[in-house]
Amino acid sequence: MDFSNKNVLITGASRGIGKATAQAFAEKGAKVGLNYRSNEQAAQMTLMELAGEGHHLLRQDISEKTGPQELITNFVDHFGSLDILVNNAGISIFHDIEEVDFDHWTNAWVDTFKTNLFAVSNLCYWGAKAMMETGGGKIVNVSSRGAFRGEPTKPAYGASKAALNSMSQSLAKKLAKHHIHIGVVAPGFTETEMAAETLTPVERDHLLRESPFQRMAQPKEVAHAILFLASEGAGYSSGTIIDVNGASYLRS
């Protein structure tokens, strides 16, 4: 895969899957715009580690209503055009119905959907508008196996990702005539900094036993699937959802 002369915007790019995706695109010759919300130190470190030149940091809270438009505008102003958009940023909030009060419950739903669905839909809107002006492009949205198997203690997360899948496939149909291709990658639990910080030993052991590989996905494995969907040869895979979960959850 060669992404020379391609301008790529990645949300949530300072750590984890976003960072691995930025590194993979940069290694293939792309110029990368790294969006982050607040962790400037991590974003700067990721920027310094990227191969090649011409990459750029873009600080923006995409959960705010005007955030997506401002992010796309700032990206295009800096790079000139948007060829590939990777919507990776997302949040996951614990809200077990047996344990939390009603305010926690409702706030979890609102906050989760603001970032995981509404922000992505708005980024798709403004990203597609920018791509229409230049003859097309690629959008890859990062979902989750939770969209299919359910998330008992984080139902808003699973619901937001299921909605993301449906939205992506609807837009894949609508935007095909504009030569805009949309794909989805649905990872299982991935070995990221966040996982290391939040998982208890018991939770980690349970996750490792879910897959016959007895391990979690590596961020670069998820990035590989993202790059495939963004590649020139994958245009007819528009509307596809690729599972990257180590056979931990199989759907028909």
Catalytic residue positions, numbered: 157
The Cα–Cα gap between 252 and 247 comes to 12
Tokens of 202: 């018991």
Instruction: Give the burial class of 136: count Cβ atoms within 10 A of its Cβ; 0-12 exposed, 13-18 middle, 19 or more buried.
Output: middle
Of 70, 26, 28, the closest CA to residue 47 belongs to: 26
What sign for the dihedral angle of Cα 115, 59, 244, 193?
A: negative
CA dihedral 172, 174, 175, 177 (to 10 degrees): 120
Q: What angle do CA 221, 225, 228 make, to 5 degrees?
A: 135
DSSP 51: S
The Cα–Cα gap between 61 and 119 comes to 9
Tokens of 143: 């979902």
Tell me the residue length of the chain: 252
Cα radius of gyration (the chain): 17
